[in-house]
Every structure is written in C-alpha cells, then in structure tokens.
Amino acid sequence: MRPVSLVLLLAGALACESDTTIIPITVQWMDWPAAAIAGMPFRTRLVVSGVCAVAPAFHAGARADESAVTFAPYYLAARDPWIACIDLRSIDLLVSAIDTAGMAPGLPADLPRTYEMRAASMVYASSAALDALPVRTFGDVTVRPPSPVEDPTLRRNAAGFVNLTRDALGCVWIRPGGLFAPQAALVLENPVDTAGLSGHFVRGYIDPVNPPVCGASRVFHLVSRN
C-alpha cells in the first residue's frame, strides 16, 4: 500500500495561503463505469468519511498516472475545525459518511487497456497513526479508444466497506458503510455465503436488471471480500 502525499502537499500549499486547514479523509465505498472512452473524464461515486467541522469544502483529490487513477480526498475547513465538536449534536458526523462524487480524468488508450482505480482507505488497524493515508486498489476500469459505434456499458464496478441486512422477504441487501438512507442499499445478487460480510471490504459490480429483483432495478454482484 502506498501513501497519498502529492495531492495533500498541493492542498497544503493552498492552505498556507489562507486561514484554512486540511483534513485528509478515507474512501469507504467507490463505484465507477466499468468501461470508459479514452480521453473522456468519467464520474466516480465516492462515499467518504465525515468530519466534524464548520462548512468544510470537499475536494476529491483525483490524479492519474500511466497505470491508475487515485483519489486522495480531503476537506478544507476553518483553521480550528474541531470547535464544531463542542456541540454534541454534531458528534454523529464522526461516524457517518458523506455520499458524493469525483471526476476521474480522461485516460489515454491507443488500444483497449485497463487502469486500476485506487483511493485513500483504512487498510489495517494502525492506519490512523500514519502521516499519510495508505492507498487501496478498489478495482479497475477498461479504457477504449473512441469508436464510430460506441458500446457504452451500464455496468458499474464497485468496492468498499459494507453492512449487510436481510428483509422480511428474505432479500439480502448491502449498504456502503456509514450510509443509512434507504436508497443507499443494493440487493445482493448472489447471497451464497454472507456470514461475516458486514464490516468487510468487498469488490464486485452493479448491474441494472429487468424485471426488478426484490423490488430493485439494480443489483450488486459480489466478486471477492477481504
């Protein structure tokens, strides 16, 4: 796992010029198009850890190199952001998550090829003690050159920490960690072995389905867990 540093250094230079502070955060869930067109930026959903701060400004911190797209998200907040935590009503922000997005930059490809999708993430218990957050590989994206006949896929690759629930009808749902809104949950398409799945990092993909499954028009197919 490599630490995120470049984006935070750039953000630090900006913060030094104003009365702000940088709060690096982790990505708890990410989903993105399974395929992208070369040179075209694409929207990536990010579920990130919340912070206890007054009106923080979110930055996705996206960058790309010859092999991967990396998100190193952070907030710019007031110089003394933790003063907001004096109000106990805001303490829930410490354990909740924010459902947001970032744009991945356009990626070059003369022939179809894959790039890894990475993000700052807690990968082991001592991560919080590091000066820079470690980076985890969430999955990959296939990038194709522009074509007169495009074949856009509706599939989205996805990965992150999840919680699992089972409803009264026996349907199994997963929810990105820290999100509680009903619309955040996804039906688990292949609930073969779900023991201990809650709280773990999973990888898979999201597909549209017709007819709906358990009343949902999109399902999550589990590929692996950590």
| Residue spans per domain, the chain | 6-144, 156-225
**157-180 pLDDT per residue, tens:** 999 999 999 999 889 999 999 898
The alpha-carbon radius of gyration of the chain (Å, integer) is 19
Q: What is the pLDDT of residue 119?
A: 97
CATH of 156-225, one of 1.20.1080, 3.30.70, 1.25.40, 2.40.50: 2.40.50
Q: What is the pLDDT of residue 94?
A: 44
Burial class, 149, CB count within 10 angstroms (exposed 0-12 / middle 13-18 / buried 19+):
exposed
**Gap between the Cα atoms of 123 and 127, Å rounded:** 7
**55-108 pLDDT per residue, tens:** 678 999 999 999 999 999 999 887 665 555 544 344 444 447 899 999 999 999
For residue 161, what are the CA distances in angstroms to 52, 66, 135, 136, 149? 21, 27, 14, 12, 37
Q: What is the pLDDT of residue 150?
A: 60
Mean pLDDT of 136-156: 86
Most confident of 48-57, 123-132, 191-200: 191-200
Which of 154, 44, 37 minimizes the C-alpha distance to 107? 37
Quickly tell me which residue has 């998200």 as its tokens: 73
Q: Determine if the pTM surpasses 0.95.
A: no
